[in-house]
Structure 1
Amino acid sequence: MLDTIQRFFQQALAEPERSENPAPTLERATAALLCEVMRADYHTDDSQIEALRDLLMTHFKLSSEAVEELMELAREEVETSVDHYQFVSLIKQHYDYDQRRELVRMMWALANADANHNALEEHRIRRLAELLHVSHSDFIRTKLQVQGKAE
């Protein structure tokens, strides 16, 4: 019985909307983690919002209207969620290592968008990279790539 209850909660958290296509849920989870990085320093800059919009449009190949809706849904989910588990577990379940590393690179791009890099953003990215099982060397490598200090 305990297994049944545990399975129910894992499915409810991992797949909040039962659908044939998990992409919208994955898109929201990705956008939510990016919003977490943006909120890490308790200041959201217009340049970060624009960078988030560009990252989502490029990464998911969405229209500007779809990106606006995705950003709004992600903000709502981040504000109402208790922790990152639901987002991280879904991403780990459906993204391979290279996709998760690319997500960390996107986090760095977002953190650097406002030219006001701080320790809170770096800490949040480090923690999310650990939860996503992205190695520390790739965490540093993506940081340097975004900052233009490595290839």
Structure 2
Amino acid sequence: MFQKIQRFFDQMIVMRDARGGTEISLELATAALLCEVVRADHSIAESEIVAMEAMLKRRFSLDEQALDELMELAREESEAAVDHYQFVRLINEHCSFEQKFELVRAMWTLAYADGEIDPLEEARIRTLSTLLFLSHSDFIRAKFAAKPE
């Protein structure tokens, strides 16, 4: 089991976590930010978890075991994080504008997954969008791109 987890991280872009030397991958940073949106309204709907799993599985081509490990690690990192800096920094360093826009669109998709946008979810997405250096118009464009029809 330990070897599988080690291989999982060896295959990803990583950076040192300021808390204690834990390695943070691009995949983990993305998943942790998505967790932040899911947790923003203090109510985690099953539809949000299902949507997040589908996004991560598709985006990073993960098998079920790797997906389960990533989801658990992301939940732990999101709950333990004092701020978003470690996650945002890695994404800003390694992702293009288009990738960051798609991440914000994915955040909106998660916010819509339970059928309603909570003001706390919107505020969290707005904060993360700003930290990812997206403009307000990109924030709004991502919201409309993710809105279910």
After TM superposition, the score normalised by the length of structure 1 is 0.83
- The answer for the alignment partner of 2:6 in structure 1 is none
> What is the alpha-carbon root mean square deviation over aligned residues?
1.7
Partners of 1:63 and 1:111 lie apart in 2 by 25
Tell me which protein shows more strand as a share of its residues: 2
Give the SS at the match of 1:83. coil
8 Å contact from structure 2 (residues 36, 78) kept in 1:
yes
Q: Which runs of 5+ in 1 are unaligned?
A: 1-10, 18-23
Aligned length: 133
Q: Tell me the equivalent position of 1:67.
A: 67
Where in structure 2 are the equivalents of 1:111-126 lying within 5 Å? Answer: 111-126=111-126
1:16 CA drift (Å)? 4.1
**Post-superposition offset of 1:12:** 3.4
Q: Which residue of 1 aligns with 2:106?
A: 106
With normalisation by structure 2, the TM-score equals: 0.84
SS of equivalent residue, structure 1 residue 43: coil
Per-residue deviation, residues 108-139 of structure 1 (Å, max 9, x unmatched): 01110010211110010000000000111111
Cα distance in 1 between the residues matched to 2:16 and 2:37: 25
Q: Distance in 2 between matches of 1:54 and 1:101?
A: 18
Q: Aligned partner of 1:48: which letter?
A: E
Among the aligned pairs, what percent are the same residue?
53
Paired residue for 1:34? Answer: 34
Residues 2-151 of structure 1 mapped to structure 2, 5 A cutoff: 12-13=16-17, 16-17=22-23, 25-148=25-148
1:33 alignment partner AA: L
Larger radius of gyration: 1
